[in-house]
Structure 1
Amino acid sequence: MKTNYTGVALVLITFFAISFITNILGPLFPSLVQDFDISLAVAGFLPFSFFAAYGVMSIPSGILVDKYGEKFVMLAAFVMAATGSFLFALNPSFFMAMGSLFLVGTGMAMLQVAINPLLRVSGGQEHFAFYSVLAQLLFGGAATLSPIVYSNVVQSMATGETSGIIGFFNSNVPANMSWLSMYWIFAAVSVAMLILIALIKLPKVELKEDEAVGAIGIYKQLLKNKSVILFFIGIAAYVGTEQGVANAISIFLERYHGLNPVTVGAETVSEFWLMLTIGCLLGLVLVKLLDSRLVLKLFSGGAMIALSFALFGSAEVSVIAFPLVGFFLSVMWSVIFSLALNSVAEHHGSFAGILCTGIVGGGLASPLIGVIADLTDDLRIGMVVVYITLAYIFAIGFWAKPLVVNKTIKLFNKPTADSTAT
């Protein structure tokens, strides 16, 4: 099959845009708490608004793709993202923030469902794994870039510049809310993506049987399977861990070590995403050498150790240890997802929809952390939520019983007659 490089490029750019928009909440957290004068518990409902959209829209998005096609859903998704960003940029209030983030999250959920089958068709099934890894690298690259853009824009606005893009921000963003400039940028990115998608002719996607969204009866059948429920919780635990840590980094460094959230905080969040991206590359190698369940146990154990250093170490240790947590989180999504799909014999498309709904876990962790931190007046105690989610992920390495185990390379054992016969 001939590769449609235009389609591949569009999907990769879309992955970049999704991550650039999605992963900014962490660096903004201290500013949101201060400027809206809210507690950590209340602030935690901002990421909840965003990730709740995944819980609501993941399965309906699959139905929309089936009925109207990938291009329509992608256009609708960026309309939602642009609308949410414009509304918040024009009317910055806490409740508008919640509504805006729900709209943006809805758009991102729709995109996640639409672009994976499109990538398989555009790049060719034989190249799908390669392009999927490339997409994840771009996703991580955008997550790394987003806090850096935020830090540079806010510092540039502080100079009082009156011309160019910084001048536009200084004229249209409240002086005490320079972070709001990011939502003007998100709106511009969304509009640019709308134009790009509208101009490009996309290949027709014929969903494979295991990618198709099933009828309601199939979901009911799957939800009776204990493994389906346990892996759904596993995905929720992973996303809750990732977002719980990312959203806590900047405000933790400010509260416990007096570090500037716009500079050091944003830089540390950026490094967290960078290390998560780098870890993905090592993870690709490790799952070829070791059973993925062992990899999951090693990395979840490493994440708990790194988190302990981040929370209880000195300022110098914390700014190193938080990115290390990202490194250890890197393999978890792909390993849990693959273990889940390999644990059921059929209806993988519907099961994937259920798993993606588990992304709502990313919104549950932050409010829980905030409630505990407010009640105890100690963010460190609030972070016990992350230890619990990591412990659950660690446990998956023990109870997962996939029907198909990941194939590993035997470095030191010569193949035997028995092994070559299979």
Structure 2
Amino acid sequence: MKTNKFIVALVLVTFFVVSFITNILGPIFPSLVADFDISLALAGFLPFSFFAAYGVMSIPAGILVDKHGEKPVIIGAFLLAFSGSLLFALLPTFTMAMLSLFCIGMGMAMLQVAINPLLRVVGGEENFAFYSVSGQLLFGIAGTLSPIVFSYFVTELNAPAANGFTSVAQSVIPSNMPWLSMYWLFAAMSIFMVVLVSKVRLPKVSRNDEEATGTFAVYKQLLSNKQVMLFFIAIAAYVGSEQGIANFMSLYLQQAHGIDPLTQGAGVVSQFWLMLTIGCVLGLGLVKILDSRIVLILFSTAAIAALCFALFGSVEVALIAFPLTGFFLSVMWSIIFSLALNSVKAHHGSVAGILCTGIIGGGLASPLVGLIIDLTGNLKSGMVVVFVLLAYICSIGFWAKPLVANKTIKLFNKRATPVS
């Protein structure tokens, strides 16, 4: 099929929007805790409500795409994100925050399921790897920009009243909750994407074996497979590690070092996502010269070390070490996913659905971290959860036995000794 560059661009923009909306929880987290006056354990259920929806919707989204096609699912996903964002912007309460994040999470899950096979078709199978990496890079760029935009909006809205956009925003957004401006922005972005996608004719996608949704019997069989369940836990461990660090780093820097979460704290979260993106690019090169299990062991060990420096070092060290954890987390998702798929002979689409459902488990890390902090009164103690999760990820490099190992390049070819 001929490459449709406009639709490829549309899919890549969708990757950007998904990340821009998803990765705002970290910088907003301290504001949610302060403005709703809630415990850290309760606050942890905010990211959980998002990732629970993400996990719950992954398999049903695949069924919806199979039955109705990509376009209705993509439009429905953005309508859910629009509804959730507008609901919270208009009714900023803790209950509405939970419901809003659940709606947005369902929308993001539907988008992730729909756009990857679509990208394979519109970009051409021979270009799929290139466009997939491009999508992940845009995902990382959006995650980097989102906290910066958040910090800009908050700063502008806290300034004296001005003409134009700022004055309109100040009349709509409560003065004590300037961070709500992001949810108005999310609503605007979502409705813009609804209009854009509705005007585009998308091609029919024939899903290959790896993308097909399995039957109930297939899922039952896979759920009894020990390897599949171990990798399910691994995905939960990765999401738990990523969110445990991303959501609590700004709060930790505020309480331990007096860093303003709305400006410098948001900047550190932005650097975290930037380093995660850079690490992803460099990680692609590493898995070409090393077994992916070795890369996983090295990076998970380095992530544990970086987190130790972030928690027990000075403020100068913490400001460097927290973003570095993002760099070392970067390769984990893709390596865990590839090892899992390469550890089973068939039903890769169903395995992928089960793995994505593991995101629910990862969402539990935030309330668990918060609960430990509330019980002990020590921010560092909550990070014990993250250390345990990273240790489990490290263990994968020792027990994983993929049927197909990643292909590596031999840097030094030994010449055969000529026979005399």
Please give the range of the TM-score, normalised by the shorter of the 2 chains: over 0.9
Distance in 2 (alpha carbons) for counterparts of 1:305 and 1:188: 41
CA deviation string 1:375-409 (max 9, x = no partner): 00011000100001100000000000000000000
Asked if 1:296 is matched to 2:296, the reply is yes
Unaligned runs of 5+ in 2: none
Letter in 1 for 2:332: M
**8 A Cα contact 2:33 2:40, kept in partner:** yes
Shift of residue 416, structure 1, vs aligned partner: 7.2
Query: What aligned pairs does 1:73-92 form with structure 2 within 5 A after superposition?
Result: 73-92=73-92
Task: Classify the secondary structure of the residue corresponding to 2:323.
Answer: helix
Partner of 2:385: 385
Q: Give the partner amino acid of 1:12.
A: L
- What's the CA shift string for 1:55-91, capped at 9, x where partnerless? 2110000000000001110000000000000000000
- Specify the alignment match of 2:307 in structure 1: 307
CA distance in 2, matches of 1:416, 1:100: 65
- Amino acid across the alignment from 1:265: G
Residue 262 of structure 1 aligns to a residue in which SS?
Answer: coil
TM-score, length-scaled by structure 2: 0.98
The 1:161/1:416 distance shift into structure 2, 3 A limit, reads farther
* Other-structure match for 1:123: 123
Q: Distance in 2 between matches of 1:75 and 1:154?
A: 30
Is 1:374 equivalent to 2:374 in the alignment? yes
Deviations 1:321-379 (A, max 9, x none): 00000000000000000000000000000110001111123311110000000000011
The answer to whether structure 1 residue 339 and structure 2 residue 328 are counterparts is: no
Aligned counterparts of 1:149 and 1:52: Cα–Cα separation in 2: 26
Partner letter of residue 140 of structure 2? Answer: G
CA drift of 1:415 comes to 7.6
Q: Which amino acid aligns with 2:341?
A: L
Residues 124-175 of structure 1: CA distance to partner in whole angstroms, max 9, x if unpaired? 1111111110000000000000000000110011113343222222011111
Answer whether contact 1:160 1:170 (CA < 8 A) is retained. Answer: no
Residue ranges of structure 1 left out of the alignment (5+ in a row): 418-422
Q: Structure 1 CA distance, aligned partners of 2:291 and 2:209? A: 27
* TM-score between the two structures when normalised by the length of structure 1: 0.97
- Per-residue CA shift, 1:254-285, capped at 9, x if unaligned? 00000100111000000000000000111000
Q: Distance in 2 between matches of 1:55 and 1:411?
A: 41
Deviates most, 355-364 or 268-277 = 355-364
> Quick one: percent identity of the two aligned structures?
68
Q: How does 1:397-412 map to 2 (within 5 A)?
A: 397-412=397-412
Q: What is the DSSP-based 3-state SS (H/G/I as helix, E as strand, rest coil) of the residue aligned with 1:86?
A: helix
Q: Give the count of matched residue pairs.
A: 417
C-alpha RMSD of matched pairs (Å): 1.1
Task: Give yes or no for the alignment of 1:139 onto 2:146.
Answer: no
Offset, 1:2: 1.6
Superposed displacement of residue 39, structure 1: 0.8
Q: Which amino acid aligns with 1:164?
A: G
Q: Helix, strand or coil for the counterpart of 1:289?
A: coil
Does residue 327 in structure 1 map to residue 332 in structure 2? Answer: no
Instruction: Give the secondary-structure state (helix, strand or coil) at the position aligned to 1:288.
Output: coil
Alpha-carbon distance change, 114 to 416 in structure 1, aligned in 2, over 3 angstroms: farther
Aligned to 1:420: none
Aligned to 2:253: 253
- Contact 2:235–2:362 under 8 Å retained in 1: no
Larger displacement relative to structure 2 (160-169 or 305-314): 160-169
Q: Match of 2:61? A: 61
2:196 alignment counterpart: 196
Q: How does 1:113-192 map to 2 (within 5 A)?
A: 113-192=113-192
State the distance in 1 between where 2:139 and 2:55 align: 21
Contact between 1:232 and 1:354, CA under 8 Å: does it hold in 2? yes
CA distance in 1, matches of 2:186, 2:15: 14
Distance in 1, matches of 2:355 and 2:41, equals 26
Q: Secondary structure at the match of 1:261?
A: coil
CA contact (8 A) 1:7 1:203 kept: no
- Residue of structure 2 equivalent to 1:262: 262
Structure 2 SS opposite 1:409: coil
Partner of 2:47: 47
Displacement over 4 Å in runs of 4+ = none
- Whether the 8 Å CA contact 2:303–2:328 is kept in 1: the answer is yes
Work out the CA distance in 1 between the residues paired with 2:336 and 2:86: 36
3-state SS, counterpart of residue 76 of structure 2 = helix
- The one-letter amino acid paired with 1:167 is S
Residue in structure 2 matched with residue 95 of structure 1 by the alignment: 95
Change over 3 Å in CA distance of 1:416–1:164 after alignment to 2: farther
1:182-231 CA distances to partner (integer Å, 9 max, x unpaired)? 00000001011111111111121000022100110000011111000000
- What secondary structure, in the 3-state scheme, does the structure 1 residue paired with 2:311 have? helix
1:198 maps to amino acid: S
CA distance in 2, matches of 1:183, 1:30: 16
1:4 corresponds to? 4
**CA spacing shift, 1:214–1:159, aligned 2, 3 Å:** same
